[in-house]
Amino acid sequence: MNKLTKLLSTITILLLLQSCGDDLPVENPPRGDYEHGYFIVNEGPFSNGSGTLTFVDNDQEVYQNVYKSVNDNEDLGNIAQSMYLHSNSAFIVVNNSHQIIVTDRYTMAKIAVIEGTNINNPRFFVAVGNTGYVSNWGNATDPTDDFISIINLETNTISGTIEVGEGPEDMLVVGDKIYVNLQGGYNQNNKVAVIETASNTLSTSIVVGDVPNSIVKDSNGNIWVLCGGKPNWTGSESVGKLVKIVGQSVETTLDFALGDHPEHLSIDGGKLYYNLSGKVRGLSTNDTMLNTDEMPGLDGNYYAMKAENGMLYTTNAADFASEGTLSVFDLSTSTLSYSLSTGIIPTFISFQ
Amino acid sequence: MKHWIILLFGCAIFAQNDSIQQLDEIKLYGNFSKKMTAGYHVVILKKDSLKTTQHTLGNTLQNNANLYFKQNGNGMVSSISMRGSNASHTAVYWNGIAINSTLNGQTDFNSLSAKGHNQIEIRKGAASSVLGSGAIGGAINLRDKIRFNSKKNLELNASLGSYNTLHLFLKSKISTPKLYAKLSVEGNKSNNDFPFLNTSLLNENGAYYNHHINAVFGYRINPKNKLHLYSTSSYNNRNLSRSLTAPSNAKYINSEKRVLLQWLNSGKKYSSNAKFAFLNEDYQYYLNKTNPTHAVGKSNNIILKYDFSYLINRKMHTKIGLENKFLYGNGSNIDHKSQSNIENYVSFHHQPVNKLNYNISLRKGFSNIYKIPLTMAFGMTYQLNPTLNIKSNISTNYKLPTFNDLYWNHSGNENLNSEHNKTAEIGIQFKHNIIDFTTTTYYSKNKDLIQWRPTNSFLWKPVNIQEVSNYGVDLNLALKHKINHHLFEANFQYDYSISKDNHLQKQLIYVPFHKANSNFTYRYKTLIASVNTQYNGFVFTTTSNTQTVNAYWLTHLQFYKKLNTNLNIGFSINNLFNKAYQSVAYRPMPNRNYNLNINLKI
pLDDT, position A10: 46
Separation between Cα atoms, residue B315 and residue B311, nearest integer Å: 8
Instruction: Return the closest-CA partner of residue B304 out of B320, B321, B319, B323.
Output: B323
User: B341 or A30: which carries more pLDDT confidence?
Assistant: B341
Please check whether residue A109 is in contact with residue A103, taking contact to mean a CB–CB distance below 8 angstroms.
yes
- Band of residue A15 on the pLDDT scale cut at 50, 70, 90: very low
Confidence of residue B350 (pLDDT cuts 50, 70, 90): very high
- CA B146 – CA B155 distance, rounded (Å): 17
d(CA B305, CA B277): 8
Position B40 scores a pLDDT of: 84
pLDDT score, position B2: 34
CA Rg value for chain B: 23
User: What is the model's pLDDT at position B458?
Assistant: 63
Whole-number percent of chain B with pLDDT over 90: 82
Residue B211 CB neighbour total at 10 angstroms: 17
Provide the pLDDT for residue A18. Answer: 45
B584 and A344 within 8 Å at the Cβ level: the answer is no
Whether B408 shows a pLDDT value over 50: the answer reads yes
Q: How does pLDDT run across A59-69, given as a tens digit for each residue? A: 999 999 999 99
Q: What is the rounded average pLDDT of the residues A35-40?
A: 96
Whether the pLDDT of residue B30 is over 80: the answer is no
Q: Is A49 at the interface with chain B, CB within 8 A?
A: yes
Q: Which residue among A142, A261, A344 sits closest to B542, beta carbon to beta carbon?
A: A344
Read off the pLDDT band of B457 (50, 70, 90).
low
B503 close contact with A: CB closer than 8 A:
no
Residue B150: count other Cβ atoms within 10 Å of its Cβ. 10
DSSP of A286-312: T-SS---PEEEEEES--SEEEEETTEE
The per-residue pLDDT for A12 is: 44
For residue A27, name the pLDDT band (cuts at 50, 70, 90). low
pLDDT of B365 > 60? The answer is yes
Q: Residue B71 above 60 pLDDT?
A: yes
pLDDT of residue B19: 31
Q: What share of chain A has pLDDT > 90, as a percent?
A: 80
pLDDT surpasses 70 at B574: yes
For residue A100, give every residue at least 6 positions away whose Cβ sits within 8 Å of its Cβ, in sequence order, or none. A91, A92, A93, A94, A113, A114, A115, A119, A122, A125, A132, A134, A151
> Is-contact A276 A262, C-beta < 8 A?
yes
Nearest to B587 among A48, A139, A277 (CB): A48
Residue A263 has pLDDT above 80, yes or no: yes
Per 3-state DSSP, chain A is made up of helix, strand and coil in percentages (nearest 5) of 5, 50, 45
Percentage of chain A exceeding pLDDT 70: 92
pLDDT at residue number B335: 93
CA pair distance B20, A184, nearest whole angstrom = 60
Mean pLDDT across B550-569: 94
CA atoms within 13 A on the CB side of B389: 25
Other CB atoms within 10 A of residue A293 CB: 10
Q: What is the pLDDT of residue B38?
A: 81
% residues pLDDT > 70 (chain B): 93
- Per-residue pLDDT, averaged over B145-155, amounts to 91
pLDDT of residue B4: 30
For chain B, give the mean pLDDT. Answer: 90
Q: Is B85 helix (H, G, I), strand (E, B) or coil?
A: coil
ipTM of the complex: 0.88
B584: nearest CA in chain A?
A48
A321 chain-B contacts, CB cut-off 8 A: 509, 542-543
Nearest to A301 among B291, B293, B456 (CB): B456
Q: CB of B262 within 8 A of CB of B278?
A: no
List residues bridging with B588 in a β-sheet. Answer: B582
